[in-house]
A and B are shown apart, each in its own frame.
Chain A
Amino acid sequence: VNRPGTVVEVGRATPPILVHNGDSVVLQRFPVGTRVVYPPDPQTGLRDPDGAIRRALLNPLDSEPLPALLHAGMRLTIAVDDISLPLPPMRWPDVRARVLEAVLDLAADAGVEDVEIIIATSLHRRMTAAEVLHALGRRVFDAFWPDRLYNFDAEDPSALVELGTTEQGEVVEISRRAATSDLLIYVNINLVAMDGGHKSVAVGLGSYRSLRHHHNVHTLRHTRSLMDPPRSALHSSCNRMGRLLESQVKIFKIETTLNNDTFPAALGFLNRRESEWTVKDRAMARVVAQATATMPPAQARAVFQRTRAPYALTGVFAGATEPVHARALESLYSQQAVPVRGQSDVLSVGIPYVGPYNVNSIMNPILVYCMGLGYFFNMYRGIPLVRRGGVLIMTHPCREEFHPVHHPSYIDFYEQVLSQTRDPERMEAEYEERFASDAWYRQLYRRSHAYHGVHPFYMWFWGAHALEHLGDVVVVGGDRGVCERLGFRSATTLDDALEMATQTVGPHPSVTHLHCPPLFVCDVEPGGFETGVP
């Protein structure tokens, strides 16, 4: 049994805490009394992952075994999660490759010839051939790429089909190939609780027309939180769409969960608590902190982006969407849930070098915003870790840097939209459609490797709940001009940031720091910590 996550209170003897700082890390002393929430230790991976996968396919939940669903002459489509999962990309073999190999073996045994594999990119950027090769493996790649293994194109009208509208008027429009197949198999990596379930097909293979029904300000304000699907309006919408989909398309879902062994041995100190660091860990932490802080940003980024996670498979579940997802969530929470009692005035997070939308790319200011307010703020079930009107302190250099190929519409969003408004509702009303329909963005999304024109809006909407909830956001080490554009304040040091936070939450604020990644989700219950530390 792995050691559960824990909350450690900083004392006078507590060593400096490691805080992610974009393409670097810093060793930071927190005030006495600060709570540091640590992730659980990694669970032991399944001893025989390939065997577990095969068993799941043969003994599915609420479904006939996969071989019974496969037959010669059928039309089979397999969809897989894209580059946004897992984070960082996992070292070979990627769990998607393992699952695909097993599924394709069964399909071959059944004589299925019409097989296509779709990378469920939704409105994300197309994966490159090298990225697909890494995720799916040489055997699958050579056999299928590029004609029968390809990125989804949500802007190809001929490749989409509208299947109807839900009882709440939500248009369901997805990949025509997937919708017209005799069987659609979806292979998930459930890195966080937001992933999987009905969201996979409805979003991963959905069009902008369809996504806009849940990727909007109203829905995301009522998504509390993204990591708590039963309390997420976004997931409720996806569930309605998914049920409509399942009434017309035979779907076989395969969800996988990983442990949180996030960083390889060389960066093993990032997985461990500072109080348990070895001499080597301490030395490595200092070397990495100093080296990456003094390197040019692009070089430091390259160092981290080469990292491959040694994730191990902890669960694989196959069959009907809802029972599969329920089991996957159970497995995921058993690895990631950390009980926390009480909210605090201030929540501190270090924004790491990678998020879902900057794998092999640059974490631009809008993605920093999304990581802080969209993801880390939402890493809770129950109530937020920070009280209403509280302050979020992020640590990140927040440079005005954008990847011109991956994020072209982000650059214009930053220049043209954020210079006018930070109000998500106004953005949605005045600007979203324009970005979504821009022919140049569409072309770059379809032919290059750009995120869809509307994507930066979704990043902003992802933080809509946090924007309403928080009293202020301070970025330690953040570029002043960029922070101002984002509506944040920048501070040179954590002490300065805490001092600035007192202007919002009063003197002697209670502080919680999320020691993340490795990823975890806090089960927050009221009581116990609100009064602050004198």
Chain B
Amino acid sequence: MRALECTPTLPGYALARVVGGTRGGPFTMLRLAHRPPPELPGEGWVRLHPRLAGICGSDLAALHGHASPYLGALASSPFVPGHEVVATVAGEGGRWSAGTRVVVEPLLHCGVRGVLPPCPRCAAGEPQGCESVAGDGLAAGLQSGYCSDTGGGWAGEMVAHQSQLHEVPGSLDDRDAVMVEPLACALHAVLRNEPGPDDLVLVVGAGTLGLLIIAALRHAARPRRVIAVAKHDGQRRLAGRLGADVVCAPDVMLRTVRFETHARLVEGRAVDPFLLGGADLTFECSGSASGLQSAIGCTRAGGTVVMVGMPGRASIDLAPAWHRELNLRGAYGYGIETAGRVAVEPPRRTFAIALEAAQALRPGRLVDDPLPLEDYQRALDRASSAGSRGAVKVAFAPRGDGG
């Protein structure tokens, strides 16, 4: 089968930071390869034929050498990227019959790995915090798409455990379905940090995650006001359409938040300006150090900053976070939601909520025309410059039948 295979090496990593992960000549980390399909790791696993597989910001960070080495230790090489996947079940497997259209919930937690007894986090219903991801049961990998045993969506075939699959209702097309995974991330972040009705929420960054956070806030919560910070015109338009009350560019973010919250703006020599007062709750979706610094500087004392975008190594002044007694929280993946307006007893999986939400939000409108694997260079370039081109999500059609 054809697959985009990623083989991280130190020279490749260093070169990727300069020229990108696909332009390193002999040291390039990503290449289109012909390789045998992954073996089924055991019972309960099924073969999938990916129909669409999205390119995520975390994929780009890895390929461009910007991802944290921390994450490198939680992947196994070589791997086939692609964790935002809508696929067709290729053969009978457990309760799944061939031809069923599914989305993959890519977490490789104890249940998927066959680890018994499960780790304490999985046992507590928090599979996103699974402690077995460094190699128990399967090769290391936080998710499908980072594990050498499972493959990923950027290939003609991959394998998944039946518990990872969610059937796609007929009302959702493939583009909507490929957005279910990032939508689940956004819903998870919002449901774990649900704003109150009087809260002013700031969303920093308006790539896929930022836009879906805005949509999730409007779908699953009732904040008083949402301010979105978006770099590009197209992103600003979409942020407004998805429900942001106020949309601004990064260079006026501080003043906009100040204006909206009646905070005090403090400017001084040798210090970036910051607010005293500010947003009640901030979702940092850019994953950049500057985004996180601004988020901290724009959030009121006692407020919460949620890191949704995948951060890496960064130099950040944490004094304001300390002084303001901020809640600085991560929001990773999805799992089982027990709180929030749309979550009802018994607890529901985030993916189930996301599948429902996708029918209302139709996130497929944010997906560009898919590209074949052969065009991976163009696809990755497009994804890297999506915001400035007015695009949001770029996806592969690995078998040429998606879209």
Q: Which residues of A contact B256 (CB under 8 A)?
A: 415-416
Known A-B contacts A411-B255, A416-B256; A438 and B267 likewise in contact (beta carbons under 8 Å): no
Complex Cα–Cα for A345 and B255 (A): 41
Contacts of B255-304 to chain A: CB distance below 8 A? 255-256, 258-259, 262-265, 267
* B255 touching A439, Cβ below 8 Å: no
Q: Which residues of A contact B264 (CB under 8 A)?
A: 439-440, 443
Taking the complex as formed, is A404 at the interface, i.e. its CB lies under 8 A from any CB of chain B? yes
Find B263's partner among A411, A415, A440 (CB 8 Å cutoff): A440
- Whether B262 pairs with A440 at a CB distance below 8 angstroms is yes
Proximity string of chain B (60-81) to chain A, C-beta cutoff 8 Å, 1 when within and 0 when not: 0000000000000000000000
Instruction: Name which residue of chain B comes closest to A411, CB basis.
Output: B255
Q: Contact at B262–A438, with CB atoms within 8 Å?
A: yes
- Which one of B252, B265, B267 contacts A415 once the chains associate, using CB atoms below 8 Å? B252
A439 vs B277: C-alpha distance in the bound complex, in angstroms?
A: 11
Chain A residues with Cβ below 8 Å from B258 are: 412, 440
Residue of A nearest to B258 (CB): A440
Contacts of B267 in A (CB 8 A): 404
Provide the bound-state CA to CA distance between A251 and B259, in Å: 40
A415–B259 Cα gap in the complex (Å)? 10
- Complex CA distance for A415 and B267, rounded to whole angstroms: 19
Counting contact residues on chain B (CB < 8 A from A), the size range is 10 to 19
A188 to chain B, nearest CB (A): 36
Per-residue contact bits, chain A 440-451, to B (CB 8 Å; 1 contact, 0 not): 100100000000
Q: How many cross-chain pairs have Cβ atoms below 8 Å apart between A and B?
A: 23
Nearest CB of chain B from residue A311's CB, rounded to whole Å: 37
Q: Mark A404-440, 1 if CB is under 8 A from B, else 0.
A: 1000100110011000000000000000000000111
For B259, list chain A residues within 8 Å (CB): 412, 415-416, 438
How near does chain A come to B271, taking the closest CB pair, in angstroms?
14
- The residues of A that contact B263 with a CB separation of less than 8 Å are 440
CB proximity of A316 to chain B, nearest CB, Å: 44
CA A492 to CA B264, docked complex, whole Å = 40
Which partner residue on chain B sits nearest A409 by CB separation? B259
- List chain B residues, Cβ under 8 A from A439: 262, 264
Residues of A within 8 A of B265 (CB): 408, 440
Q: A435 CA to B252 CA in the complex, in Å?
A: 17
A404 neighbours in B (Cβ, 8 Å): 267
Q: Give, as a whole number of angstroms, the nearest-CB distance from A52 to chain B.
A: 47
- Whole-angstrom CA separation of A443 from B262 in the bound complex: 12
Contacts of A443 in B (CB 8 A): 264
Please report the C-alpha to C-alpha distance between residue A411 and residue B273 in the assembled complex, in whole angstroms: 15
**A28-68, CB under 8 A of B: which get 1 and which 0?**
00000000000000000000000000000000000000000
What distance in Å separates the Cβ of B402 from its nearest Cβ neighbour in chain A?
40
CB distance from B76 to the nearest CB of A (A): 49
* Distance between Cα atoms of A416 and B245 in the complex (Å): 12
Q: How far is the CB of B267 from chain A (nearest CB, A)?
A: 7
Closest to A417 in B: B259
The CA of A412 and the CA of B265, in the complex, are separated in Å by 12
Chain A: which residue is nearest B263 at the CB level? A440
Which residues of chain B from 67 to 119 have a CB within 8 Å of any chain A CB? none
Chain B nearest CB from A431 CB (Å) reads 10
The residues of A that contact B248 with a CB separation of less than 8 Å are: 415
CB-based nearest A residue for B264: A440
A343 to B267, CA, bound (A): 49
A408 to B259 Cα, complex, angstroms? 11
Interface centre among B255, B259, B262, B267, by most A CB within 10 Å? B259
Cβ of A236 to closest chain B Cβ, rounded Å:
35
Q: Hey, which chain B residues are within 8 Å of A440, CB to CB?
A: 258, 262-265
Q: Please, which residues of chain B bring their CB within 8 A of the CB of A438?
A: 259, 262
Cα–Cα distance between A411 and B262 once the two chains are bound (Å): 14
Report the Cα distance A371→B106, complex, angstroms: 62
CB of A415 within 8 A of CB of B262, answer: no
Q: Report the separation of the CA atoms of residues A479 and B378 in the bound assembly, to the nearest whole angstrom.
A: 37
What distance in Å separates the Cβ of A408 from its nearest Cβ neighbour in chain B? Answer: 8
Within the complex, the shortest CB–CB distance from B202 to chain A, in Å, comes to 15
Cα distance A502–B396 when bound, in Å? 54
Indicate with 1 or 0, residue by residue over B239-252, a CB within 8 angstroms of chain A CB atoms: 00000000010001
- For the complex formed, measure the closest distance between the CB of A263 and the CB atoms of chain B, giving whole angstroms: 35
Residues of B within 8 A of A411 (CB): 255
B300 → chain A closest CB, angstroms: 14
Give the CA-CA distance A416 to B267 in the complex, in Å.
Answer: 20
Kindly provide the distance from the CB of B208 to the nearest chain A CB, expressed in whole angstroms.
26
Q: In the bound complex, how far is the Cα of B267 from the Cα of A404, in angstroms?
A: 10
**Bound CA span A120–B258, Å:** 30
A459 to B265, CA, bound (A): 23
Instruction: Give the complex CA separation of A321 and B262 in angstroms.
Output: 41
What is the distance, in angstroms, from A470's C-beta to the closest C-beta of chain B? 29
Annotate A381-413 by CB proximity to B: 1 below 8 A, 0 otherwise: 000000000000000000000001000100110
| A408, closest chain B residue (CB) | B265
For residue A399, give the distance in angstroms from its CB to the closest CB of chain B: 16
A415 to B258, CA, bound (A): 12
Give chain A nearest CB distance to B262 CB in angstroms.
6
Q: Which residues of B contact A415 (CB under 8 A)?
A: 248, 252, 255-256, 259
Chain B residues positioned under 8 Å from A416 (CB to CB): 256, 259
Cα-based distance from A415 to B246 in the complex (angstroms): 11
Bound-complex Cα distance A493 to B255 (A): 35
A436-473 interface (Cβ within 8 A of B): 438-440, 443
Complex contacts, B255 vs chain A, CB 8 Å: 411-412, 415
- Taken together as a complex, chains A and B put the C-alpha atoms of A332 and B255 apart, in Å, by 43
The smallest beta-carbon distance between A529 and chain B, in angstroms, is 45
Shortest distance in angstroms between A296's beta carbon and chain B's nearest beta carbon?
Answer: 21
Residue of B nearest to A439 (CB): B262
Cα distance, A411 to B258, chains bound together (Å)? 12
What residues of chain A lie closer than 8 Å to B252, measured between beta carbons? 415
How far apart are the CA atoms of A411 and B265 in the complex, in Å?
Answer: 13
CA A440 to CA B276, docked complex, whole Å: 10
What CA separation (Å) do A412 and B253 show in the bound complex? 11
10 chain-A/chain-B pairs, Cβ below 8 angstroms: A404-B267, A411-B255, A412-B259, A415-B255, A415-B259, A416-B256, A438-B262, A440-B263, A440-B264, A440-B265
> Known pairs A415-B248, A415-B259, A440-B265. 16 more at Cβ < 8 A?
A404-B267, A408-B265, A411-B255, A412-B255, A412-B258, A415-B252, A415-B255, A415-B256, A416-B259, A438-B259, A439-B262, A439-B264, A440-B258, A440-B262, A440-B263, A440-B264
Closest 9 CB pairs of A and B: A440-B264, A412-B259, A416-B259, A415-B252, A438-B262, A439-B262, A412-B255, A411-B255, A440-B265
